[in-house]
Structure 1
Amino acid sequence: MNRLLAALAFMAALLVPATAGAQALIDQCTAETCKARLTPDQLAGEAQTLILAGRFDEARPMVAALMTVPDKKFEARLLSGMLAAGTGDHARAAEYYKAILSDDPSQTRVRLELGRELLALGHTASADKQFKIAQQDGDLPDDVARTIRSVRDVIRQRRAWRLDVDLGIAPDTNINNATSSDTVTILWGGIPLPLMLDQRAKARSGTGITASISGGVRLPIANKMSAIVDLDLAGNNYSGAAYDDYQVQAAGGVEFRLTPTSSVSLQGVGAQRWYGGQAVSRQTGVKAGFQIRLSDRDQMGVQIDSRRTDALFDPSYDGWQTGAYVTYERAVAKSLVVSGGGFVRRDSLKAEAYSNTEIGAIAGFGGELPLGITFGLSGSVSRAKFDAAIPLFSIDPRQDWRYTARATLGNRGWRLWGFSPQVSASYSRIDSSIDYYRNDRLRFRFALARYF
């Protein structure tokens, strides 16, 4: 850890203005009493010179004076953070740097300082995130960029755990994911007949309590190899138990680093889902992944996931579900990322009428904005074709167009016990050749989230 901090100190020093090494004005005094009139810029420069020289007590009143200058809030916060860091108060230093980035997320030097303080606090996952964003700055000196890459490699090798938690409420227009049609057409002896749907078979709205926990452990076990364990839990609780939905998934395996910029992983997976107070499905399988950093701004990933599903509510849905996913990410600005990709999914189930192949594309855009605001936009479109017809509804196999869209807005500048507010809206729609399977769903989520 000390080697990491030393490397980061060198990296941050490379971004400090050259004037920081000038002689302090206080050292130029020859009389017992020395008076000087300083502009705010000169005051900031003098304070920085003293801080870099380790003369914190002398710098402290200058930083306090700078705090009173309205248009020098950035300089005052930066120097306050440097002063706190120099005296070992890493938590306080991190708060100053977070405040700066909340107003202006493009400050790369401040982001590096924040990453260093988070690392000193033992928050390796959060530190790595800051270094990743800083790494996307195309104006970084080559030696700084190399140092960031080296530090991130060491963090990934040493990082032992991660944990994300959120809790909120979720108004939903379709908590049972059902059709909104009043009638559907069925075939009776080959004759189409309209059938009135019972209210229980139609879309129902409601508001529930939602929560999720995502955690993981990575432990080095050999040269370039780590054991990895992931655990994800999510749940939605509505009034009564009829539409409560809970899921848990665990995965364990190994990750092998092929090169400094690429790795592969292989994990066994197990999952279970409960709906309406009853266990409805169990899954066991395997997933494999490949990740590569193409440059400081570009990265790509490939994942293959194959599972055996045991459908406890209807054995017709028993079978294998396999998917292949490709994603590409590019940083288009210091703190903004655009992504895209595609996927193929295959459900080979006991009933051919429920077996299908789905092909789709995904896209996303997100990042950090001033005032501590984070945002994300994403969407997907796909086409699903089923293997056989459902005689009750049609003589032709079912075909779907499926659409999803999601928008998320958060504010990392507001925190309560480490939790930040987050609002999201997600929309999904299925345009099916069979009326009974057509539906749309709009879901809002008002939550507090914390990332350890």
Structure 2
Amino acid sequence: MFGKGKENMAVRILLILAIIIPFAAMAEQSDSLSQQQGTIVTSSAQSTATPEELAQVATQLLVEGRVDLASIVVNELLKLPHPPMQALFIAAKLAELRGDWNSAIKFYRAMLERDPAVLRVRLDLARALFMVGDTEASQHHFQRVLGEPGLPEGVRKNVLLFINQIERLTFSQILSFEILGDSNVNQATASEAVIIGGRRFVLSPTARQQSGKGIGVNWQGQYRFGESRQFSLRGVLEHQNHPSANQYNLTYLMGLAGWTMQWSPGHSTSFEAGWHGAFYGGRNLFDGAAFRISDLYRTISGWTLNPAIESKQLRYPNYPLRDGWQHWLTLDISRATASGVMWNTGASIGQNKARDKIYNFISSGAKAGVSAELPLKLNASLMLDYLETRYSLADPFFGKKRQEKKQSIELAITPLALSVGGFAPRVVLGHVDNRCNIDLYRYQRTYGKVAFVRDF
């Protein structure tokens, strides 16, 4: 037996239907619904219906185009502490018909909190997120669907088409604001002195490890144009400001123009060329040309492969002997699973060729990471990174070739429930250990930041 509240709710719904629907139409509709559902009841105060049965009535009303009546039934069901899944689904569809995509997203998320394995709902959520411009979240859910085993081939192809459409939007941008804390903002040694030529030299305070707090802004934007959006303009801005240590403020800028060849919905090759530059402590650190060729391939089983080659010119106004080029070959691989876990791995190898050969080096590295959706609307990610660098010639001061091994770990947690105005807070903690055979270049740093991230 149902409680008094549920019984009264059913009676209210049925009485409302009896008043709104003309008597003749009500009789005809009642017969039709009785045959199709086997659950419809008359508007007698002695009759009751379960919430699940009323949700089926709302479904039938929506199918028949009686949107107003379906809304009445659903609105009553939504007053329950735990509305039926079908009621939430119909509420989302009604919201879509009104163009209220944010409400639809709320109902879809509520359904997935109860049962994350409902594939149809995740697809609808991804589409709704796409409609409101939350492309990062939309792409995340589409990729999760690709990780579903046994997904029909037709559905996989449609999902790839959506992901391709996201990546080829006319304009997209990602913006984040950060509150920073760093134990070693200048990435310098903690040693007070170094040995050069057998003699001990005391380092000045500015040459040693300095802590600092500050703020940061990161922005990436891309504008696509052309008949099939094959041309693009892309910009990057990264800025860190430390009021207590302005000499370590850092700004990086990059602008690229590109052309993309779309081989298939899941495969494209992009060519980009442009300019980049960095400012450190308010001074021009370097600038120069930048080129990049990348290939993006998404498999129908959820894998993403992204090999790339990039070359950047480095012109140092104050250090002309460092002028030269850096070339990098990278490979990033990711795999989304239906359970919400995203696996990431990658490898890289790079070469620096400067005017003075003592600055020439070769670097190689690897990375691995995982991100997952946790209870209480939390997203968490863990990233491990390793980079080894070997210089070509011996350092003239220390008499040996410099060799570095840098290891880093970073943990990030995003509480989606605290999102305000489209910005979600992300708490990041990280540690870097740079080991070197020359003490001057050996350092450690621990950092933390609170970032407010928005994807448009």
TM-score (norm: length of structure 1): 0.86
Secondary structure in 1 matching 2:376 = helix
338, 343, 357: which one aligns with 1:352: 357
Q: Could you tell me how far 1:143 is from its partner in structure 2? A: 3.3
Equivalences, count: 424
Match of 2:145 in 1: 134
Secondary structure in 1 matching 2:315 = strand
| Distance (Å, rounded) in 2 between the aligned partners of 1:79 and 1:376 | 34
Match of 2:11 in 1: none
Aligned residue type for 2:305: M
Whether contact under 8 Å (2:390, 2:403) holds in the other structure is: yes
| Distance (Å, rounded) in 1 between the aligned partners of 2:281 and 2:41 | 82
Whether contact under 8 Å (1:104, 1:371) holds in the other structure is: no
Match of 1:408 in 2: 412
167, 170, 174: which one aligns with 2:177: 167
Cα RMSD, aligned residues only: 2.7
| Distance (Å, rounded) in 1 between the aligned partners of 2:73 and 2:258 | 54
Match of 2:243 in 1: 239
The range that moved more, 383-392 or 367-376, is 367-376
Match of 1:10 in 2: none
* Matching of residues 6-45 of structure 1 within 5 Å: 36-45=47-56
| Distance (Å, rounded) in 1 between the aligned partners of 2:363 and 2:56 | 61
Q: Could you tell me how far 1:295 is from its partner in structure 2? A: 2.8
Matched, 1:321 2:326: yes
* Matching of residues 8-407 of structure 1 within 5 Å: 36-72=47-83, 74-101=85-112, 105-121=116-132, 127-157=138-168, 159-187=169-197, 192-221=198-227, 226-240=230-244, 241-393=246-398, 395-407=399-411
Deviations 1:182-211 (A, max 9, x none): 221111xxxx12222221111111110111
Secondary structure in 2 matching 1:46 = helix
**Alpha-carbon distance change, 284 to 254 in structure 1, aligned in 2, over 3 angstroms:** same
Q: Could you tell me how far 1:323 is from its partner in structure 2? A: 0.5
Whether contact under 8 Å (1:175, 1:206) holds in the other structure is: yes
| Distance (Å, rounded) in 1 between the aligned partners of 2:128 and 2:74 | 20
Q: Could you tell me how far 1:25 is from its partner in structure 2? A: 7.5
Secondary structure in 2 matching 1:311 = coil
Whether contact under 8 Å (1:106, 1:335) holds in the other structure is: no
| Distance (Å, rounded) in 2 between the aligned partners of 1:51 and 1:399 | 69
| Distance (Å, rounded) in 1 between the aligned partners of 2:42 and 2:405 | 83
Q: Could you tell me how far 1:110 is from its partner in structure 2? A: 2.0
Deviations 1:192-246 (A, max 9, x none): 1222222111111111011111111122345xx7012211111111115212111
Whether contact under 8 Å (1:56, 1:86) holds in the other structure is: no
Q: Could you tell me how far 1:165 is from its partner in structure 2? A: 0.8
Aligned residue type for 1:400: E
| Distance (Å, rounded) in 1 between the aligned partners of 2:426 and 2:405 | 30
| Distance (Å, rounded) in 1 between the aligned partners of 2:251 and 2:297 | 33
Aligned residue type for 2:270: S
Q: Could you tell me how far 1:404 is from its partner in structure 2? A: 1.7
Higher RCO (CA < 8 A, seq sep 6+): 1
Aligned residue type for 1:308: Q
Whether contact under 8 Å (1:324, 1:343) holds in the other structure is: yes
Q: Could you tell me how far 1:281 is from its partner in structure 2? A: 1.0
Aligned residue type for 2:49: L
Aligned residue type for 1:90: W
| Distance (Å, rounded) in 2 between the aligned partners of 1:306 and 1:451 | 28
Aligned residue type for 2:146: Q
Deviations 1:41-70 (A, max 9, x none): 223333233233332222223323322333
| Distance (Å, rounded) in 1 between the aligned partners of 2:113 and 2:288 | 42
- Mark the runs of 5 or more structure 1 residues left unpaired by the alignment: 1-20
Whether contact under 8 Å (2:134, 2:455) holds in the other structure is: no
Q: Could you tell me how far 1:297 is from its partner in structure 2? A: 1.4
| Distance (Å, rounded) in 2 between the aligned partners of 1:101 and 1:392 | 62
Match of 1:14 in 2: none
| Distance (Å, rounded) in 1 between the aligned partners of 2:40 and 2:336 | 50
Higher Cα Rg: structure 1 or 2? 2
| Distance (Å, rounded) in 1 between the aligned partners of 2:103 and 2:408 | 42
Deviations 1:309-335 (A, max 9, x none): 001231222111111001221224442
Whether contact under 8 Å (1:102, 1:412) holds in the other structure is: no
The range that moved more, 46-55 or 372-381, is 46-55
**Alpha-carbon distance change, 183 to 42 in structure 1, aligned in 2, over 3 angstroms:** same
Matched, 1:438 2:442: yes
Whether contact under 8 Å (2:34, 2:40) holds in the other structure is: no
Secondary structure in 1 matching 2:79 = coil
**Alpha-carbon distance change, 30 to 274 in structure 1, aligned in 2, over 3 angstroms:** closer
| Distance (Å, rounded) in 2 between the aligned partners of 1:221 and 1:69 | 50
Whether contact under 8 Å (1:307, 1:321) holds in the other structure is: yes
**Alpha-carbon distance change, 357 to 32 in structure 1, aligned in 2, over 3 angstroms:** closer
Secondary structure in 1 matching 2:178 = strand
Whether contact under 8 Å (1:377, 1:406) holds in the other structure is: yes
| Distance (Å, rounded) in 2 between the aligned partners of 1:89 and 1:259 | 33
Aligned residue type for 2:342: V
